[in-house]
Amino acid sequence: MFSPYYKKSGRGDPLQHCALNVALYGPGARWTMTERGGQAVRRDADTLQIGPSAVHWTGEALEIEIEERDKRVGVPWQRRVAGRVRVVPEAMNAKAFALDPQGRHRWHCLAPRARIEVKMDRPDLAWQGSAYLDSNFGSESLEEGFRVWHWSRAHGARGSVVCYEGIRRNGRRFASALRFGPDGTPHEEEALPPVAPLPNTLWQMERKTRADRGLARVTRTWEDAPFYARSTLESHLFGEPVVAVQESLDLDRFQSPIVQFMLPYRIPRSV
């Protein structure tokens, strides 16, 4: 959805603009997002193959086979990024939610809670931990529907919480907080926690979340781009301490000519 080539094409056939995004942070950091055309894409009910990488649903886990090359600005060579990720849902949710009154944009939290197993060959990394799996889809581009949005997900002792808010393209604000029980059943909260403002990123991206008493702390900024930021937060939600993943997206910045000029350096296209 952030492909500059797809946007320039007029958003015709999405199968001509497919990529597997891999982001590894910390020591041995890697970042890949090589776009491939339809001749490199194969799919059926359980598998999506994009070039040498593939995503496969086994019936009980999502398995991701990674064979990519990272892209670094100003560096003529690329490093291999290869390994396997296995996401095992602990709870499943069958319901998708509309993010706008017309239902043009929909979000489906497939697994509010999951376990993840990572075994990378290049770089040599392995770990296990908690995970989350969702999907966004719609009938128009994100920048047609929204100006800004903020999203966060936290796992608590009694389930998971996802908060969405932002400004639609028509200038109207929206906000929601969904709590998912241990079995994945969603419940939309009528009384939202207060807004917790967060410091801007180095690119001056505005960030915000929801938290008890309107208090949250950024513990790490993982991604700091001109139109997008991903962070880890510490706060309290509905009476319990949580660690949350938070994302902010500015779609006015995304569609600006200078960002569209910069994106191909980060998202190469394999012909």
Residue-wise pLDDT for 3-62, tens only, equals 999 999 988 899 999 999 999 998 889 999 999 999 999 999 999 999 999 999 999 999
Burial 146-168, CB ≥16 within 10 A → b, else e? bbbbbbbbbbbeebbbbbbbbbb
> What predicted TM-score, i.e. pTM, was given to this entire model?
0.91
pLDDT in tens, 244-259: 999 999 999 999 999 9
Are residues 128 and 86 in contact, defined by beta-carbon separation less than 8 angstroms? Answer: no
Neighbour tally for 260: CB within 10 Å: 13
